[in-house]
A and B are shown apart, each in its own frame.
Chain A
Amino acid sequence: MDRTAVAPATDLLPPPDDVAPKAGKPLGRLRIIGSLVVIGLYVLAAIFGPILLKYDSVATDLGARLKPPGTTLPDGSFAVFGTDQVGQDVLAQMMQGARVSITVGVATLLLAGIIGVAAGLAAGYLGGWLDAVLMRLGDVQLTFPSILLAIFIASILGPSVVNVVIVLSISNWVTFARVTRSQVLSIKERDFVDAARTLGARSWHLVTRTILPSAIAPILVVATVELGHVILAEASLSFLGLGTPASTPSWGVTIANGRDYLSNAWWISTIPGIFLAILVISFGVLGDALRDRFDPRLRSM
């Protein structure tokens, strides 16, 4: 039996550094870093902007209303992006709005993600009637335009930040549930799940510690793309007056306010719109880049 003591050296792999996962192609890395930088700037603006540039949602300054971008206001401050119809600084309002939009986006994503992933895990792992019920519920919901559903629920619940989160979660859980379920269906058949079972693992342990960690990569990719969609959906709801109330101005509220002044004060709607678009695109690019990055590894898994 001495053989075993000496032989292993022959089937030792090259040092682990050689096989460490590659960081992806330069373009992929650029896309990831670029979009992360943009998103990071938004988050910084949302956190520190309102501290530096005070915004009071009920203050009005009629002398300073509808000033174009780059105007020095009577009180001496400089309005980079101009002022709106009641004399509020658009930049301050946008940074406050970024706070609301990003908070709503993240909160929605967490809520929809938790519900969706839990539903997907249950449906995929347990199967049977539970799977059928959950997935048909999802199908039915997807046949309905999600913004229409959101409008419907929002009009019942009324506008508030919490309600927006609830409304958007209801219309977004299905995506998470579907992705999770499809992952679970393939992972639960794999040998390592059986191996864990032969060591006495319970179902709860199998689902949370064995299956979920293997399924998490595609779920995170979906979450990234969804975050952009959710922020956009929140803006749409707010634009329609069904999202956040005017006292917590999200981008949608600001854009809606500027709608009546498009002909003589284009900046009120346009500038927040452009910044919203940039953020949503960044999330889309990040999601795509992450998917490209994770997909080959998933295939070889």
Chain B
Amino acid sequence: MAATTSVQAPPLLSVRDLTVRFRTRAGTITAVDGVSFDLAEGETLAVLGETGSGKSVTAQALMGLVPRPAGRITGGEIHYGGVDLLTRPAAERRRLNGTDLAMVFQDPLSSLNPVFRVGTQIGEPFRRRRGASRAQARRKAIELMERVGIPAAARRVDDFPHQFSGGMRQRVMIAMALALQPKVLIADEPTTALDVTVQAQIMALLAELKAEHRMSMIMITHDLGVVAGVADRVMIMYAGRVAETGPLREVYEAAGHPYTRGLMASIPEVSGQRDRLTPIPGSPPDLTRLPGGCPFRPRCSFATDVCAAERPALLPVPTRPATHLAACHHAEEVVTDGVAG
């Protein structure tokens, strides 16, 4: 598959044909099916998709968190720092966690340990990984809490997670993830559990911290609006596969996959004219019984016979820049239709 990045330098993180399978009672599910993407230094990649599209499992695979024994990475490569992480022993991957790859979770209440003070939790990586003393770790924790915008950090460092509001908890979580200055930050729906007003604050904070630490970021979300302001590139996933990928503006303006168009038609616009929302017909496919050919076919208005016969490959969208790829037999038609309509 062609490299999908527009940046000239070798990508910081490069995923090739990643496949993750889960064994369930209903049969084997391919949650992530041959996903490839690159992440350049300092770049923000937004991964979009519905529930069950495989976006969170992709993140889990990157962090070595795929739940076992049900789930297993059955194929592919994850290149980071010149090595394929999937061939390295667990201990080596663990050392990269925190210092090179770090993650912010969806629900900050359940991702903070309820029995420890937040300062202890933020400071723990320093003590464990950097050999800092208790006092040093505490100072570092206060520093980080201030950095992520928690007021009166010096006083709140000894509070427990349940004493914080949702937004503040997510800030604590971000402080923990940033403790060891990772090079890649994976944010798995970091704002889903938060109020709309707080969402914007958290997104702004992430963007600001990303620029400050020169991090790369993978932002997983199902909310197109959330990423519009921060992402450089988007990758849209459907049924465990990449449906479309390209620079944010390019994909927003000239979607080459009917699913992308459907996603965009289903966002309410606050400022624009109030058209009726157009939901995507049907529901996400049952991964144990994927139809042959294109998995989106049953919900697609562009579908023809070729869609049933042949699974579309992820190819550059005709007439668009080479960095814009879509897995649709009718990509060109979808683009023209979208621009015209």
What residues make up the interface of A, taking CB atoms closer than 8 Å to B? 1, 3-5, 7-13, 16, 19, 128, 190-192, 194-202, 205, 209-210, 213-214, 216, 301
Contact = CB atoms under 8 A, between A and B. Distances in A.
Interface string B178-219: 011000000000000001011011001101100000000000
A199 B98 contact: yes
Contacts of A214: 113-115
Kindly list the 8 A-B residue pairs having the minimum CB-CB distance in the complex, ordered from nearest. Answer: A191-B111, A200-B98, A199-B98, A11-B167, A200-B97, A198-B103, A191-B110, A192-B113
Indicate the size class of the contact surface on chain B. Answer: 35 or more
Given A3-B201, A198-B98, A8 B176 contact: no
Contacts of A4: 149, 201, 204-205, 208
B45 interface: no
B124 interface: yes
A12 B207 CA distance: 21
Question: Which one of A8, A196, A209, A301 has the highest number of Cβ atoms from chain B below 10 Å of its Cβ?
Answer: A8
Contacts of B64: 197
B95 interface: yes
Interface of B: 63-65, 69, 91, 94-99, 101-103, 105-107, 110-116, 124-125, 128-129, 149-151, 156, 159, 162-168, 171, 173, 176-177, 179-180, 195, 197-198, 200-201, 204-205, 207-208
Nearest to A192: B113
Nearest to A202: B94
A134 B63 CA distance: 31
B105 A191 contact: yes
Given A191-B107, A198-B102, A200-B99, 5 more contacts: A11-B165, A12-B165, A198-B65, A200-B97, A205-B128
Nearest to A193: B113
B219 to A, nearest CB: 16
Nearest to A190: B110
A194 B65 contact: yes
Given A13-B168, A214-B113, A195 B162 contact: no
A192 B165 contact: no
15 contacts: A3-B201, A4-B205, A11-B168, A192-B110, A192-B114, A195-B105, A195-B111, A197-B97, A198-B177, A199-B124, A199-B125, A199-B179, A200-B180, A201-B128, A213-B116
Contacts of B165: 11-13
Contacts of A205: 128
Contact of A198 (B97, B107, B200, B204): B97
B164 A13 contact: yes
Contacts of A194: 63, 65, 103, 105, 111
B95 A200 contact: yes
A10 B163 contact: no
Contacts of A196: 113, 124
A205 B163 CA distance: 25
Given A197-B97, A199-B97, A200-B94, A213 B163 contact: no
Nearest to A199: B98
A199 B176 contact: yes
A2 to B, nearest CB: 9
B15 to A, nearest CB: 17
Given A19-B163, A213-B113, A8 B204 contact: no
Nearest to B166: A11
Contacts of B95: 200
Given A195-B176, A198-B101, A12 B112 contact: no
B168 A8 contact: yes
